[in-house]
Amino acid sequence: MKQVHIEIKGLTMAYDDFIIQQDLNFNIYKGDIFIVMGGNGCGKSTLLRHLLGLKTPAAGDIYYNDANLWKISEAERKKIMRANGVMYQSGALWSSLTLAENIALPLKEYTDLSEDEIKGLAYFKLALVGLVGFEEYYPAEISGGMKKRAGLARALALDPDILFFDEPSAGLDPLSAKLLDDLILSIQASLGTTIVVVTHDLPSLFAIGTDSVFLDSISKTQIAQGPPKELLNGCPNHVVQQFLSRGMNE
């Protein structure tokens, strides 16, 4: 029996009066690679911001291991947020710091490791994503794909319980996208991390996803749930079928 890691209960997301999604109910289980999918503008990234605790829900609750994210004290929420690693869409590396310093910053803030150990850890995390030799580079000096990988290295800095990815394969060539997928799989396999991926990249979501939720921008709620491959074969919903087959199964 899989353990629930994050539970979403009756979540409604809105900007002021404008509702993005409502009545979202699903569980993210420990060790899963959970895909949040849907068309452009359906609120995938907004959902991510809610899960990360960056935005307050208009209604409903988000539970992390039974802790209600918005009913606990701010200090506890910060603690939960710190255990999340996030890879933002374009890396979101701090441009005034080198890659090594980018990874060292959270370590310096939250651990009591020595300078040498931090350096060693930063080197190791960069090695994990294949960026050995780029420690002293500034984010502006490397390519988009490398920025994403460096962003992943920074997300891994504090050994997070949950890793969030916002559009990991957007802007990458097919091969680099596949490499990143492999990387996500092997990190999941060796660390057992729960991984949440926001994406609409079909090859990638079929390759790595073990569970998913489909957000629809017209009905403004979730219309399908389950492993992506099963959805492709068995989901009766027309919109989901079209999405997953790139409009082929008309």
Partner 1 sequence: MNPCTFELSSTEGKVSVADIRGDWVMGNTVPGFQSVKQLLEKQNCEQLDLKSDNLGHWDSRFVVFLFDLEAYCKGQGIVLNMEQLPDSAQGLLHQASAFPVRESGQKVLHETALLVQIGQHALGLYKQTQDMLAFVGEVCLSSLRLLRGKACFRQRDLWLIMQECGPGALAIVTLISLLVGLILAFVGAMQLKIFGAQIYVANLVGLGMAREMGAMMTAIIMAGRTGAAFASQLGSMRVNEEIDALETLGISPIDFLVLPRMLALIIMLPLLCLYADLMGILGGLLVSATLLDISVVEYFIQTKSALDLNDFLTGLIKSSVFGVLVALSGCLSGMQCGRSSSSVGDAATAAVVAGIVSIVVADAVLTVVYQIIGF
Q: What does the binding site for partner 1 look like in residue numbers (CB under 8 A)?
A: 95-96, 111-113, 116-117, 120-121, 124-125, 127-134, 136-140, 156, 159, 183, 186-187, 189-192
Provide the minimum distance between the beta carbon of 242 and partner 1 in the complex, in angstroms, as a whole number: 33
For partner 1, the closer CB: 59 or 132: 132
Phi-psi region of 23 (alpha: psi -120 to 50; beta: other; left: phi over 0): left
Q: What are the strands, taking DSSP E only, across the chain? A: 4-15, 18-29, 33-38, 59-64, 67-68, 84-87, 162-166, 194-198, 211-216, 221-225
Phi-psi region of 12 (alpha: psi -120 to 50; beta: other; left: phi over 0): beta
Provide the minimum distance between the beta carbon of 120 and partner 1 in the complex, in angstroms, as a whole number: 5
The per-residue b/e assignment along 67-104, b for 16 or more CB within 10 angstroms, e otherwise, is: eebeeeeeeebeebeeebbbbbbebbbeeeebbbbbbb
Angle at 124 between CA 137 and CA 177, to 5 degrees: 70
Provide the minimum distance between the beta carbon of 181 and partner 1 in the complex, in angstroms, as a whole number: 14
For partner 1, the closer CB: 147 or 220: 147
Provide the minimum distance between the beta carbon of 26 and partner 1 in the complex, in angstroms, as a whole number: 27
Pairing status of strand 194-198 against strand 211-216: unpaired
For partner 1, the closer CB: 33 or 51: 33
Provide the minimum distance between the beta carbon of 89 and partner 1 in the complex, in angstroms, as a whole number: 15
For partner 1, the closer CB: 140 or 248: 140
The single residue listed with the structure tokens 């780029």 is 134
For partner 1, the closer CB: 193 or 241: 193
Instruction: Answer whether 61's CB lies under 8 Å from 10's CB.
Output: yes
Phi-psi region of 31 (alpha: psi -120 to 50; beta: other; left: phi over 0): left
For partner 1, the closer CB: 74 or 112: 112
Residue-level length of the chain: 250
Provide the minimum distance between the beta carbon of 132 and partner 1 in the complex, in angstroms, as a whole number: 5
